[in-house]
Amino acid sequence: MSIGLHNLKPALGSRKKRKRVGRGNSSGHGTYSTRGLKGQRSRSGGKSGLKLKGFQRQIQQIPKKRGFKPHKPKMETVNLRDLEAKFKDGDIVTSEKLVEVNLIKDAKNGVKVLGDGKLSKKLIVKVDGFSKSAGRGIVEAGGSMELIAN
């Protein structure tokens, strides 16, 4: 007999028969359907309350969380393309000026310049943070950057 894909079978004992409960006493799982006589788990809808029988002690040992940690406010972000559009060659860019030209709403959480877009003007940028690509873009355009401690 040749062995091929058309006559492969699983190894003996590797496939277990499904337990069909409540299908009569001759099935071996009739009458109480393996639930026992009394108690919560023997009744309909009673299983869900005791799914994790041995878990109760572990739940008692988990410490309670107290207090809360407020979210850290995010910095406002500005891209190089925005600076290119709103400022002239040689301008000094500060967070106050960014609010004036409506690039950001508020500077109280700090301002970070990101490197999306291209800058061709020499700008002096004084803000709270720069991405690497933004710093590279400002320096390549002949400008300078200063970090301000918030």
Would you kindly state where each structural domain of the chain is located, as residue ranges? 76-147
Share of the chain above pLDDT 90, in %: 53
The residues, any chain, with a CB within 8 Å of residue 26's CB and separated by 6 or more, are: none
Q: Whole-model pTM above 0.85?
A: no
Mean pLDDT, rounded, for 64-87: 87
Query: What pLDDT is attached to residue 2?
Result: 78
CATH topology of domain 76-147: Ribosomal Protein L15; Chain: K; domain 2 (3.100.10)
pLDDT-derived band at 139 (thresholds 50, 70, 90) equals very high
Sheet strand arrangement including 76-79: 76-79, 111-114, 129-130
* Per-residue model confidence as pLDDT tens digits over 83-123: 999 999 999 999 999 999 999 999 899 999 999 999 999 99
* Per-residue model confidence as pLDDT tens digits over 24-51: 999 889 899 888 898 888 888 776 654 5
Give CA–CA dist 123/141, Å, rounded.
Answer: 8
- Amino acid code (one letter) for 150: N
Buried b (16+ CB within 10 A) or exposed e, 49-69: eeeeeeeeeeeeeeeeeeeee
* Per-residue model confidence as pLDDT tens digits over 126-136: 999 999 999 99
